[in-house]
Amino acid sequence: HTARARAKWRTTYLKPPQPPPGFPARATMRLLFLLCLLPVALGHAGGHGVASGTEIHPEIARSMAQIKAGCEVLAVAGAATNAGLAALLAGHGRDGLAQESQDAADVVKELCGRLRDLGVLNAVASDEFDPMEEEEEEDAVVRRLAASNNWYSDPSSYYIAVVFVGIGLILVVVYLWEAVFMRTSLFPNKCFQSDKKVIAEIAHDVRPALQPVMHLADEYIGPRKQVKGKERPKEIAPQKKATFAVQDRDRFWEEVALTAKKDSGVAHRGIGEEKPAVVGFARPEFSGLEAKGTARVTIERTENLKGRVIVKVRTKKELEASDFQAEQNEDYKPIDVEVTFEDGQDLVSLDIDLLQTDKTWTPTRWFLVQIAEVVSGNAQLGGPNVSSWTADGVMVRVFILQDDTFPPNVPADCSDNMLLYYYLKERVKARKQHFWYTLAGMCFVPVHSVVVTPLVLNAMLDWAADPEEGGTYFRVMLLFGIQMASFLMLRTADVAQVRHRGRTGGCRQVHRQQLLSKLLMMEHAEQFEYPGENWFYSAIMNVDVMVACGYWQIYVMAQAILGLILCLAVLLGKALYKASRDDGRMEGANLMPTVGFLIVTPIAMYVINARRRRVAKLLESRMIGEESWVETFAWISANGRQLYSLGAREIAELESTFTKRNSKFKAYHIAARDYINDSTWVTKWLGAACYCVVFGWAGFRLLTSRRGEQDFPVGDCVLLISMFKNFSKYLVSISNSVVKMQKASVSLRNIYGLLNLTEKKSLKELAENIDREAPRSMAAVASPPAVAPSAGAMDRDAIVFENVSLSVPGTKVGFGPIADIKQKPGVIGRIPYGKVVILKGGTEAQRLSVLTLAAGVIRPEAGKGTVSFPSSEWAILMSSASTAMPFVSIARDYTLVGASDEAAANLAELLELEADAVPDRLPPGKALLHCLGRSLLRDPKVLLAMRPLYNLPPELRDRAASLVLAWQGAGGREAFVRLLEKGAEAVEAMAKRSTFAVQRRTVVFSGDIMPDWVPRERLYYVDIMPDW
């Protein structure tokens, strides 16, 4: 800690500041300043270069000298040179001058005429000669010669200067707008760096003042370590995790083998013995419908019902972050109460209030309910538990099930158009103020391109730059400022819409998260309703199409509609303005563009709508074709590491399958592409026809106007053509948006089907039946029954199969590798608890069907038999292959199922697995061993597995069998605590678990032959074929 503190002191606060990335701000300002000064320098050099570097004709030189002398006479006479010459050349003003000045003016005028006779274009002896009108020549020559030393008097140099000054001014404004106001990445500014860099710069400035007191830091923090002449912080060596010594490993396996060979008697504990009662949850999972506003949690007392027992129950939030966790006081009301079991009472129901959220579709969320401790009474904690080893008490999850549809409030049978409408409505509500910021930013684009730019151009041509209309330089600069301000606002609007539109983070990833949450909450049988490639394709392609062609088109269509409205408003406003100038007389020709606009727009909308149905069918066929080749490619990419086992013909079959599906998709794609493209050209042709007609009509009117037959200014012509160009552009944009929205509706239909699947179906049925069961809460129990009501209703010592019938769906994947089973009428099959049960008989698929039913993964057909077992007997079915997450190490996987870090590392070492390795690196036998260890750490009441020892190597088979039998005989994972953990943490963990009850465990294997050393009395064989 001291080393890191000293490193922060020396490297952060005393480190010289580094230059910011990108183009420096000061250099940018210097460049802009030089650009502003450049026209001055060029003009000054140009003025002197002409006078000194050009050879002038002698006659012209004498005339220039006399003209210069005459101008000086005018200046000495007290008359302003430019004003006097302007008055002279305008033919008046001579009366206002003295006689001497009048004579000088006559001389100047005569000399200008002499220069005209020589055919000289200007007084600086240019190589080009062009005859000029008398007044134009005199004006040009006199003005140039009157101030030959002033470069800005030359119009060409003046215009160049204005251009350069304007460019410099624009760059300065752009810089200030981007760096100071908008704070974009175009111009990095040191003023807006992170606080750390600012502090570093300040510390660098005061470094000399800190040097005298640096020894104090060394005294309190510690001396610096010199490494090769450089000052580096001393690194703290990481602590090495404790590992098992050889004798520890041998002792572990000896104790496991000893425990495996004997029966601890846990399985034979019965109800009513004078032993502590076991208090726990009746189920590993509970649920409640948000619409009902209640989730019911049932707490169970077993093994001893005598006496009064009080336990503390509270809600809790798990430390591990998850998007599925419910929030206190937002999704549910937290509780922290004491629950009382009266004498003879075995069940207590506790209702938790669920809070109503908005109607926006959300995934199923969950929270934890914990039995923290036994407050009083002869009892221990037990039952289902999802907490980690080091947690206090036992916990279960409560799921808040949603009845909301996606999109919200959508009718059951609605068209694609209505489905898209409800989706867009949901997106607008979900995006909140971000939607309106984006919409405002998008809608300013037509304001700039349709209103500001054309009207400014029209005003420039017909008002500011027309002397007959009183045009002045001030008007030009005013229009320049308006146009520049519009560009700045356009940039601001663009930044706003980019930062708030949320196409990826706000929509795409939200929908992909929704698909993921739905997929994770689906039960096993429901996973087969839609194959995995459908989910994958929907998450990648359908979501992207739904957002880009649905959600984003709201803004595009709003922008286009506003553009069309503004085009109509500008044309109509211009016609009304001209009528007001003509004493209220409205010419029919001025209204023709507006009438054409109103006629073409409905025609375009009708044509677009007429082709919608055909477009939808083609897009759906295209999506199905694309999904087929994605399925093949996804399978190949996911199983590429096993392709070495395929032969040449099998590889060729894969390639042929992909080629066929790809060719089929291309045919669908081409048909949809051509039809959609033709649909867009309907509006393009209409827009192009309108543009060409207006273009020709405006040209005829302009020609007529220039002949003097009518008044049609150039600015109006430019404005009219610009309006219809924008009209064509926005009409095509609307057509494209409509077609894209059809494409989005097809993808949305697929997402709609996935997100509205029923999740946690078994829990939903439990939540729907909550009203049928009278709650027996603490306050509701007045006189508890003498006999537990559930004791005789269910066989608590076995999993009971009665008249079970299971038919696998006839689809391509069915229910996976399980088969149909049908139990004999009247036969009851039992799998006893507290034993090591070996299933035999029947086919491998039939035995797997029995295990799947016993684990509750699937259920019998409705009305065709039952599989009954106490809900507190939590069962899991171990997968026949390693299902560990590929991006999680073995040790991390063990900690996720409840083990401590030390126990996870030690168990991996004992199983001869690399703790930091990922499951993909494990051979088949060790991968199965890793899966077995993880299942034992989950600590279910019943562990079911299909041939878990078959693929293990001989040297590990006995150890794996002894590990399973020790877990079963000792009553769960608590037996491993004293062996896998050491030190103070192990003592603390053992103290916490001393209040936990040791309960029976059951192992059900299929198809495995147990080692010979296993006592026969520990095994129980069930032959499903002749018996069931």
Q: Do 623 and 746 form a contact (C-beta atoms < 8 A)?
A: yes
Name the β-bridge partners of 399: 287, 366
Closest CA to 927 of 876, 899, 886, 870: 886
Q: What is the pLDDT of residue 151?
A: 41
Q: What is the pLDDT of residue 888?
A: 84
Residue 719's CB is within 10 A of a number of other CB atoms, namely 23
Mean pLDDT along residues 296-324: 84
Residue 513, amino acid: Q
Alpha helices (H) along 501-587: 509-520, 532-537, 543-546, 552-581
* Percent helix / strand / coil, the chain, rounded to 5: 55, 10, 30
Q: What is the pLDDT of residue 156?
A: 56
Mean pLDDT along residues 435-443: 95
Give the model confidence (pLDDT) of 621-645 as tens digits: 988 899 888 888 888 887 887 888 8
Instruction: Tell me the torsion sign for CA atoms 157, 163, 166, 167.
Output: negative
Q: What percent of the chain has pLDDT over 90?
A: 19
Question: Which pLDDT band, with edges at 50, 70 and 90, does 999 fall under?
Answer: confident
CA separation, residue 331 to residues 43, 398, 720, 768 (Å): 74, 12, 59, 19
Whose structure tokens read 């392609």?
A: 541
> Which two tokens mark 701?
């009117």
Type and span of the H or E element at 7: helix 2-12
SS3 state of residue 309 = strand
Residue 975's CB is within 10 A of a number of other CB atoms, namely 20
550 CB burial (10 A radius; 0-12, 13-18, 19+): buried
Mean pLDDT along residues 401-425: 88
Q: What is the pLDDT of residue 200?
A: 57
Mean pLDDT along residues 774-801: 49
Distance CA(50)–CA(480), nearest Å, equals 33
Mean pLDDT along residues 642-664: 90
Whose structure tokens read 């790809």?
A: 662
Mean pLDDT along residues 90-97: 48
> Which two tokens mark 97?
């001058």
> Which two tokens mark 310?
């009080």
CA separation, residue 372 to residues 33, 149, 381, 929 (Å): 73, 98, 9, 34
Q: What is the pLDDT of residue 791?
A: 38
Q: What is the pLDDT of residue 201?
A: 56
Closest CA to 872 of 802, 936, 941, 788: 941
End-to-end Cα spacing for the chain: 68
Mean pLDDT along residues 550-572: 92
Count H helices and E strands in the chain, helices first: 32, 21
Q: What is the pLDDT of residue 776?
A: 39
Name the β-bridge partners of 864: none
Distance CA(294)–CA(333), nearest Å, equals 10
Of 558 and 99, the structure prediction assigns the larger pLDDT to 558
194, pLDDT greater than 60? no
Of 123 and 895, the structure prediction assigns the larger pLDDT to 895
Distance CA(218)–CA(226), nearest Å, equals 13
Q: Do 43 and 233 form a contact (C-beta atoms < 8 A)?
A: no
Closest CA to 567 of 599, 593, 589: 593
Whose structure tokens read 């030959």?
A: 148
Residue 524's CB is within 10 A of a number of other CB atoms, namely 15
Question: Which pLDDT band, with edges at 50, 70 and 90, does 129 fall under?
Answer: very low
Distance CA(383)–CA(871), nearest Å, equals 10
Highest mean pLDDT among 124-128, 208-212, 257-261, 490-494: 490-494
Q: Do 513 and 751 form a contact (C-beta atoms < 8 A)?
A: no
Distance CA(482)–CA(476), nearest Å, equals 10
Mean pLDDT along residues 598-621: 82
CA separation, residue 945 to residues 373, 805, 904, 935 (Å): 33, 21, 22, 10
Of 360 and 654, the structure prediction assigns the larger pLDDT to 654
Residue 817, amino acid: P
List Cβ neighbours of 694 (8 Å cut-off, separation of 6 or more): 593, 596, 720, 721, 724
Whose structure tokens read 């684990």?
A: 855
Distance CA(77)–CA(95), nearest Å, equals 14
216, pLDDT greater than 50? no
Question: Which pLDDT band, with edges at 50, 70 and 90, does 60 fall under?
Answer: low
Out of 77-86, 262-271, 282-291, 951-960, which region has the weakest mean confidence (pLDDT)?
77-86
Distance CA(960)–CA(978), nearest Å, equals 19
Q: What is the pLDDT of residue 257?
A: 82
725, pLDDT greater than 80? yes
Residue 498's CB is within 10 A of a number of other CB atoms, namely 12
DSSP annotation of 212 reads G
Q: Output the average pLDDT for the chain.
A: 75
SS3 state of residue 353 = strand
> Which two tokens mark 363?
């995934």
Alpha helices (H) along 77-98: 81-89
Q: Do 851 and 787 form a contact (C-beta atoms < 8 A)?
A: no
Radius of gyration of the chain (CA): 44
Q: What is the pLDDT of residue 265?
A: 53
List Cβ neighbours of 536 (8 Å cut-off, separation of 6 or more): 630, 634
For the whole model, what pTM was predicted? 0.76
Out of 247-256, 587-596, 965-974, which region has the weakest mean confidence (pLDDT)?
587-596
Question: Which pLDDT band, with edges at 50, 70 and 90, does 498 fall under?
Answer: very high
Q: What is the pLDDT of residue 205?
A: 56
List Cβ neighbours of 254 (8 Å cut-off, separation of 6 or more): none
Q: Do 1025 and 822 form a contact (C-beta atoms < 8 A)?
A: no
Phi, psi of 620 (to 5 degrees): -65, -40
Distance CA(89)–CA(356), nearest Å, equals 88
Cis peptide before 775 (omega within 30 of 0): no
Q: What percent of the chain has pLDDT over 70?
A: 70
Give the model confidence (pLDDT) of 536-549 as tens digits: 889 999 999 999 99
Distance CA(640)–CA(654), nearest Å, equals 12
Whose structure tokens read 């069940």?
A: 347
Distance CA(561)–CA(568), nearest Å, equals 11
Distance CA(386)–CA(332), nearest Å, equals 20
Q: How remote is the C-alpha of 299 from its chain's centroid? A: 41
CA separation, residue 108 to residues 63, 94, 96, 121, 477 (Å): 9, 13, 17, 17, 35
Of 851 and 775, the structure prediction assigns the larger pLDDT to 851
238, pLDDT greater than 80? no
Q: What is the pLDDT of residue 674?
A: 92
Closest CA to 922 of 951, 945, 879, 958: 951
Of 29 and 644, the structure prediction assigns the larger pLDDT to 644
Give the CA angle between residues 43, 44, 46 to the nearest 5°: 60
Question: Which pLDDT band, with edges at 50, 70 and 90, does 556 fall under?
Answer: very high
Mean pLDDT along residues 549-575: 91
List Cβ neighbours of 887 (8 Å cut-off, separation of 6 or more): 918
Mean pLDDT along residues 942-964: 85
Q: How remote is the C-alpha of 499 from its chain's centroid? A: 13
